[in-house]
Structure 1
Amino acid sequence: MRLPHKLVAATSFAAILAAVALPVPASALDDTQKREIGAFIKEYLIENPEIMLDVQDALQQKQASARAQVAQKAVAENQDTIFSSKFDLSLGNPNGDVTIVEFFDYNCGYCKHALADMDTILAKDKNVRFVLKEFPILGPESLAAHKVSDAFRKIAPEKYGEFHRALLGTEGRANEESAIAVATSLGVSEADIRKTMEENPNDEAVQEAYQLANSLGISGTPSYVMGNEAIFGAVGADSIEEKITNMRSCGKTSC
């Protein structure tokens, strides 16, 4: 079989596929026919490599859509655990009309930048509730820092916002030592921290966060949940503020 001459003038990949469409399955083609079709498609792609960018964009959009659908279902099924877990504390207005949940790790560089986004939002909008969900995924030092943080929350919940900002805003790696240093600077003794860590390990809290993140498709920090949407990555204050406006307008992050 020879390819029709009109294929040479094809101007899009869709035109190629339409032109080579055969009334028989591919399995019915002989080796020569398959080589001719394959060689032509290869030549066309080499001459028009930008098509592969379009294919990549389409794949990414398809994957993002599938990920969003999985997350949306998980949000609907885990409302209490996401927005009202007994392990989490919130900043801002405890009765705010919009709640933002942030999954974070004290050693996440993007989380450090996102700290300013949270503070910008809370300073401008007095009707937002910001839930901080500790999600230590960056190694043993992160887990150790979060254990100290959990003990601090139990002892001095009213100072948790100060602790959170101080530890996340510190240069260098967060670990048990640096977390205890922040705790003692805020008036909580190391002895009390260690006693609380021993008596009340935060294993259950961490397991809950891991299981929830797995359900939502969250594998990195920071990640957020607002309304019915999981938001992946440090999207910035402007994007979050736009979603807040939408929540108040139509009850969803996208109207």
Structure 2
Amino acid sequence: MKNVLSALAICLATSTAAFDMEAMTDAERQTFRDEIRAYLLDNPEVLMEAIGVLEAREQQAQVANDVELARTNLDALHNDGHSLVWGNPEGDITMVEFMDYRCGFCRRAHPEIAELIETDGNIRIITKEYPILGEQSVVAARFAVATKIVAGDEAYKNISDALMTMRADVSEDSLTRLAETFALDTDAIIATMSSDEVTTVLEENRLLGQRMNISGTPTFVVEDQMLRGYLPLDQMQQIVAQIRDEG
């Protein structure tokens, strides 16, 4: 409805630009409004065209704003010192993913991102824990970050992959079983979950996401382009190719 009203305002502003509405009498003004109304009712495609123009302008403005946000926050995106960097660390394209283990679209994207990284061979990817879907999301993220602190990057990557495909509810029992699968020090990880270090990692990610107006997962930042939501593998490949061509 907001877009429709905005589009109608554009139509009215365009139609009345050559007229001084203030100089009209009340009767003339009402007649003019009735003519506009009748015209729009007889030609609704004009209104749809205006809506299309408005939406295109809004999209262009959003893309420009996202580019500025990505550039402004580049150091925090690429060099926070706590996020996992994988793929090709020397790759010519850097992709940052904000993800939540309980997010269905994150789960859907997970194997496709892995395939993109493997088949391309020249992408550096950075994983940002961004739990926004409730308590189980937060617990899973804390467990993953604690694993990285206690056992290192490889263990974190294994746990992160497993959490993304785990169907059971996130609980201490399910997380303990998961850690035991990889022969990790479960007690140390569980103890670290509530540490200030883990809290700081998640808080820094949350604040970064807020600065970048990220309200959903997955969100990807590929160089200076923000991709909000799930995209199929072929579209991701096209975007990467486009960025390389433009670079």
TM over 0.5: yes
- Whether 1:163 aligns to 2:159 is yes
- AA partner of residue 244 (structure 2): R
Change (3 A) 1:98 1:23: closer
Distance 2:68 2:11 in 1: 38
Match of 2:244 among 230, 243, 248: 248
Post-superposition CA distance 1:64-108 (Å, at most 9, x none): 222222222222222221012212002212222211111111111
Distance 1:174 1:17 in 2: 55
- AA partner of residue 213 (structure 1): G
Q: Does the 8 A contact of 1:98 with 1:128 survive in 2? A: yes
Distance 1:80 1:45 in 2: 50
Distance 2:16 2:167 in 1: 60
State the match for 1:222 in structure 2.
Answer: 218
State the match for 1:10 in structure 2.
Answer: none
- AA partner of residue 91 (structure 2): G
- Whether 1:197 aligns to 2:178 is no
Q: Highest CA radius of gyration, 1 or 2?
A: 1
Q: Does the 8 A contact of 1:223 with 1:232 survive in 2? A: yes
Unaligned runs of 5+ in 1: 1-13
Number of matched pairs? 238
Post-superposition CA distance 1:174-219 (Å, at most 9, x none): 4555444423322224311122123444222222222222222221
Identity of aligned residues (%): 27
Q: Does the 8 A contact of 2:96 with 2:126 survive in 1? A: yes
Distance 1:119 1:86 in 2: 22
Note the 1:1-255 alignment, pairs <5 A: 21-24=17-20, 26-156=21-151, 157-171=153-167, 173-174=169-170, 177-251=173-247
Q: Normalising by structure 1, report the TM-score.
A: 0.82
C-alpha deviation, 1:20, in angstroms: 5.2
**Corresponding residue SS for 2:114:** helix
Distance 1:70 1:50 in 2: 30
Change (3 A) 1:221 1:39: same
Q: Does the 8 A contact of 1:67 with 1:217 survive in 2? A: no
Change (3 A) 1:127 1:17: closer
State the match for 1:3 in structure 2.
Answer: none
C-alpha deviation, 1:57, in angstroms: 2.6
C-alpha deviation, 1:16, in angstroms: 8.5
C-alpha deviation, 1:146, in angstroms: 0.7
Post-superposition CA distance 1:29-66 (Å, at most 9, x none): 23222222222222222333333333333232222222
State the match for 2:6 in structure 1.
Answer: none
Q: Does the 8 A contact of 1:145 with 1:176 survive in 2? A: no
Unaligned runs of 5+ in 2: 1-9
Q: Normalising by structure 2, report the TM-score.
A: 0.84
Across the aligned residues of Structure 1 and Structure 2, the Cα RMSD in angstroms comes to 2.6
